[in-house]
Amino acid sequence: MTKSPQEIELMAESGRLLASVFEYLDGVPLAGLSTMQVNDMVDDLIVHRLAARPASKGQYGYEHVLNCSPNEVVCHGVPSERDILRDGDIVNFDITLEKGGYIADSSKTYLIGNVAPAAKRLVSVTYDAMWKGIAAVRPGARLGDIGHAIERHAKRYGYSVVREYCGHGIGREMHEEPQILHHGRPGTGLVLREGMVFTIEPMLNQGRRSVRTQSDGWTVVTVDKKLSAQFEHTIAVTQSGVRVLTLRADESALAH
């Protein structure tokens, strides 16, 4: 369950490369692109420019490099030439990358063009909720502390937390133990130890937390059709606290 310092450095390299993928997407005018075009851009970047492997491709039979989840799609949205990103949309891109045998996993919700204030607020609160969870990580803390910090922040702003999906341990395999719930009671659950590596990836809904999976077997949407947002980082428990392995350049201040 725990990783050696050498393994964590290998994971940090995967995380650094994955962060550069999101930094690349930050500069792409997304409005008017199909979600498949974004998928193909990311595929080319990871394989040919970063000399790495898109870890989601082929995992559990999934055919693509990323999940793209716009608006009421909660997670696991499938890229398509028919799905065009439009002004006013929000969209989450969930991307994994493997280098040197170790996988990093991260996601970010993007604002496309002129986004309504209510949607901007949801995205901002979701991002802050992830960081509340990250801030709860330290040796001796418990998994329930992470979930409690996230859920408390979400409820403060009137949002619900999706419970069907959670963070997870990660390393040579994309999904390892433990499961990281985004709700919980403080002081409960597994005790965190130095060397544990896992993702924190809360999904917050504008309305009810209820979700359903569409007929493609992948795409998960809100039952009430209201918006959902998500952010994700891969983190390691350190001797004194936490290290964000997928940290992007514009987040350096938040990591402290």
pLDDT tens digits, 161-216: 999 999 999 999 999 999 999 999 999 999 999 999 999 999 999 999 999 999 99
In this structure, the strands spanning 203-205 and 211-213 are unpaired
Asked whether 118 and 124 are in contact (CB, 8 A), the reply is no
Portion of the chain with pLDDT greater than 70, in percent: 99
Residue 256: per-residue pLDDT:
60
Token digits for 205? 């809904």
Residue 73: per-residue pLDDT:
98
Report how far apart, in Å, the C-alpha atoms of 176 and of each of 114, 139, 169 are.
39, 19, 4
Given a cut of 90, whether residue 1 has pLDDT beyond it is no
Report how far apart, in Å, the C-alpha atoms of 217 and of each of 60, 71, 75, 107, 121 are.
12, 18, 12, 21, 30
Given a cut of 90, whether residue 143 has pLDDT beyond it is yes
- What integer best gives the mean pLDDT of the chain? 97
Given a cut of 70, whether residue 98 has pLDDT beyond it is yes
Q: Is 45 helix (H, G, I), strand (E, B) or coil?
A: helix
Asked whether 132 and 150 are in contact (CB, 8 A), the reply is yes
Report how far apart, in Å, the C-alpha atoms of 1 and of each of 54, 56, 65, 82, 102 are.
23, 21, 26, 41, 14
pTM, to two decimals: 0.96
Question: Rounded to an integer, what distance in angstroms lies between the CA atom of residue 251 and that of residue 101?
Answer: 26
- Which residues have a Cβ under 8 Å from the Cβ of 34 and sit 6 or more positions away? 79, 80, 81, 82, 83, 84, 85
Token digits for 188? 């409960």
Given a cut of 70, whether residue 145 has pLDDT beyond it is yes
